[in-house]
Amino acid sequence: MGRRADHSRAELRELIIEEGHRQMAAQGFARFSARQVARAIGYSVGTIYNLFPSLDHLLLAINTHTFALWSDFVRRRLEGVGEDRIAVLVQAYFDFASEHTNLWMAIFDHRLPPGMPLPAEDEEKRRELTLIVIREVGGLLPNRSQSEVERLARSLVATVHGHCTYALNGSFDLMGETDPAGLALTRVRESIAAAKVA
């Protein structure tokens, strides 16, 4: 067939990403398949390849979309919170990962093939979440330079990320840890306290 005019090119792109996102949430990275996405929206695989040069590009788009949801999730949790915003931030990070485990893990499961850099557009969209953290950390450290704040913020995100990974893959369960998010928050507080006095 030719143009079915069911959807414009942009609409179709969006449709594919949405359905892909749905399937990623339901089945996880390992079971994800472009053919199944095509079947679900009533097109053939070739159409996906008309919109996305390769599966990697589709996965990239799906994961960037997850980043957007994640940022929104965290932003909403912070709205109107006056005290202890860092605690809310850390908990929101964990909660999103717990509530959307497959989507969250897919972000880190997908490794770009060597020589294919993360497109600037995706990079920019994904940066949003880091910017939120930088803003919050900066608010707590008025005497620190922007570059110091950014470096610390990235480091704190890495800290929380590590705890979240171990929480979700069962490493913490295995040794009876019942509050990984609390543990992460403790680490974050220690580092912020250290940055205040240093």
Binding site for a second copy (CB under 8 A): 28, 30, 105, 108-109, 111, 118, 123, 130, 150-151, 154-155, 157-163, 165-166, 169-172, 174-175, 177, 180, 183-184, 186-187, 190-191, 193-194
Number of chain positions touching DNA (CB under 7 A): 26
- Distance from C-alpha of 9 to C-alpha of 45, rounded to nearest angstrom: 15
- Distance from C-alpha of 107 to C-alpha of 166, rounded to nearest angstrom: 16
Q: Which does 12 bind (CB under 5 to 8 A by kind): a second copy, DNA, none?
A: DNA
From residue 165, alpha-carbon distances to 42, 61, 129, 184 in Å are 36, 22, 17, 11
Q: Does 40 bind DNA (CB under 7 A)?
A: no
- Angle subtended by helix axes 120-140 and 146-168, to nearest 10: 110
Closest CA to 43 of 102, 99, 1: 1
Q: Does 9 bind DNA (CB under 7 A)?
A: yes
Which of 36, 130, 159, 191: binder of DNA (CB under 7 A)? 36
- Distance from C-alpha of 72 to C-alpha of 193, rounded to nearest angstrom: 28
- Distance from C-alpha of 98 to C-alpha of 184, rounded to nearest angstrom: 15
* Cβ pair 119, 100 in contact under 8 A: no
Which residue stretch of 29-37, 135-143, 153-161, 168-176 sits at the interface with DNA (rule: CB under 7 A)? 29-37
Give me the 147-186 binding string for DNA, x by CB under 7 A, dash otherwise: ----------------------------------------
User: What is the contact surface with DNA in residues (CB under 7 A)?
Assistant: 1-7, 9, 12, 32-36, 38, 42-47, 49-50, 54-56
